Amino acid sequence: MTNPAGNVCIRCGKVRVIAKTWKEQAGTSTLSCSSFVCPDAACQKIVERQLAKRKEDRETSERERLERIQANRNHTVSRQK
């Protein structure tokens, strides 16, 4: 399996390397999956922290959005009574 030329680290720009390869079943198809990492371990740790922070921010934003929607629904229902 080759590394796509466009697969570079988002932080340092080095070409990422394959860390792990596995196969998954999707219905009747077998998919070959690969996990890529930066060859610089320190850089990879920083990238993982950045990605975790982004994920946490997205989850917080989504949770707050759902709370606002629920609050608006509750407010609308109470005004209609």
Q: Where are the domains of the chain?
A: 17-80
Write the single-letter amino acid at 33. Answer: C
pLDDT digits (tens, 9 = 90+) for 7-44: 999 999 999 999 999 999 999 999 999 999 999 999 99
Is pLDDT of 5 > 90? no
Q: Which helix (H) or strand (E) holds 32?
A: strand 29-37
What number is the average pLDDT over the span 49-78? 92
Tally of residues, the chain: 81
pLDDT of residue 4: 57
pLDDT of residue 76: 74
